[in-house]
Structure 1
Amino acid sequence: MSRRKLVLVAVLLLVIAGIGYAGLRTAYHQAKDRRDLADLTRSAPWPRDQLLLPDGATGPGVVGWLERGGLDVAYPLRTADGRAVPVLWRLRVPQPTSGLPDGVDCGSPRLRTCTDLGGGSTLIVTHETDNSDPSVALYRADGARVRAIEVQGPDPVGVDELTAALTHVHRPGDAELLDLLRHDGYHTDWS
C-alpha cells in the first residue's frame, strides 16, 4: 500500500473515531442530565410538570432550591424605575390552618402587619426585630400551593410589581430547571 493511501486510511479512521467519541460523549451528558434532574427534583411536593417559575428569573445570579416544602428562587427583580431588587420567590405548600406556608404567622401584630388584599392575596410586612431584618412579602393562595415573593431590606417595591412577579410565571423545561437547581460544585455518585 502506498504511503498516501495509508495516510488517507489513518485520517479516515481518526474522523470515524472522533464522530463516535462525540456521539458517546453527548449520550453520556444527556443521561447525566436526566439523572441529575431526577435527583434534584425527587423531594419536590409536586410533579415537575406542576412547578412554576417567575418569568423574570433568568440569567446570571439566579439560583433555586427545591425540597419537600416547595421551591425557592432568589433573583434580582427589575422594577419599573430600573432598579434590580433582590427578592426571594417561593412556591410553597400551604398549612391547613392559615393557608400560608410553614413559619408564616400573622398572630403577632408587633412583629408582622398582615393585610388581606382579596383574591387570595395577603401582604405581610415584617417589622425590624432582634433576629430579622424588615421585609415586605406578598402571598397568594393557589390551590395546593402558595406563591410568595419577599423583598428583604430597605428597597421599596410596589404591590403592583410584587403582584406581577407572582402572576407572570411559566412551567420550566428540563434544561431551565437543571440550570436553576444544579449549583456550582453539585456532584452525584455518577457525576
Structure 2
Amino acid sequence: MSRRQIILVALVLVVVGGLGYAGLRTEYHRAKDQRDLADLTRSSPWPREHLLIPDGVTRPGTVGWLDHGGLDIAYPLRTADGRAVPVLWRLRVPQPATGLPDGVHCDTPRVRTCTDLAGGSTLVVTHDSDNSDPSTALYRKDGSRVRAIEVQGPDPVGVDDLSAALSSVHPPSDAELLDLLRRDGYQTDWS
C-alpha cells in the first residue's frame, strides 16, 4: 500500500470516526435532556402539556421552579412604559374555598386589600405589615389552576400590564422547560 493510500484510509477513518462520535454525543445529550426533563417535571400537579408560561419569558435572568403546588417563574416584566420590573409569575393549584393559591387569603384587611375585577380576576394588595412586605398581585382562576403575577416592593405596575402577562401565555416546549428549570450543574441521579 502506498503512502498516499495509507493517508487516504487514515483520513476516511478519522472523518467516519468523528461523525460517529458527533452522532453519539448528540444522542447522549438528547437522552440526557429527556431524563432531566422527566426528573424536573415529575412533581408537577399537571401533565407537561397542561403547563403554561408567559410569552417571551425565556431570557437571561429568568428562573423557574416546579413542584406539587405548581409552577413559579421569576423574570423581569416589560411594562408599557418600558421598565423591566422583577415579578413572580405563577401557575398554581387553587384552594378549594377561595380559588386563590395556598397561603393567599383576604381575611385580614389590615394586611391585604382584595378587589374582585370580574371575569375570575382578583387584585390583591399586600400592605407593609409585621409579617409581610408590600406587594401587588393579580390572580386569575383558570379551571383547575390559578394564574398569578406578583410584584414585590414599591415599584408600581398597572393592572393592565399584570393582566397582559397573565393572558399572553403558551404551552412551553421541552427546550423552554429545560431552560427554565435546569440550573447550572444540575444532574439527575443517573447523569
Where 1:155 maps in the other structure, the secondary structure is: coil
State the match for 2:96 in structure 1: 96
State the match for 2:87 in structure 1: 87
Aligned mates of 2:139, 2:37 — CA distance in 1: 28
Query: TM-score scaled by structure 1?
Result: 0.98
State the match for 1:114 in structure 2: 114
State the match for 1:186 in structure 2: 186
Provide Cα deviations, 1:113-165, integer angstroms capped at 9, x if missing partner: 00001110000000001233100000000110000000001110000110000
Given that 1:56 and 1:165 are in contact with CA atoms closer than 8 Å, whether structure 2 keeps it comes out as no
- Which one-letter code corresponds to 2:96 in the other structure? P
Aligned mates of 1:52, 1:82 — CA distance in 2: 24
C-alpha deviation, 1:183, in angstroms: 1.1
State the match for 1:165 in structure 2: 165
Given that 2:58 and 2:179 are in contact with CA atoms closer than 8 Å, whether structure 1 keeps it comes out as no
Aligned mates of 1:155, 1:163 — CA distance in 2: 16
Percent identity (aligned): 77
Query: TM-score scaled by structure 2?
Result: 0.98
Provide Cα deviations, 1:47-80, integer angstroms capped at 9, x if missing partner: 0000000113121001100000000000000011
Aligned mates of 1:57, 1:137 — CA distance in 2: 18
Given that 1:137 and 1:148 are in contact with CA atoms closer than 8 Å, whether structure 2 keeps it comes out as yes
How many residues are matched? 191
List 4+ stretches of structure 1 deviating above 2 A.
Answer: none
Structure 1 alignment gaps of length 5 or more = none
Of stretches 128-137 and 44-53 in structure 1, the one that deviates more from structure 2 is: 128-137
State the match for 2:73 in structure 1: 73
State the match for 1:54 in structure 2: 54
State the match for 1:16 in structure 2: 16
- Which one-letter code corresponds to 2:152 in the other structure? Q
Structure 2 alignment gaps of length 5 or more = none
Aligned mates of 2:132, 2:95 — CA distance in 1: 22
Aligned mates of 1:120, 1:187 — CA distance in 2: 40
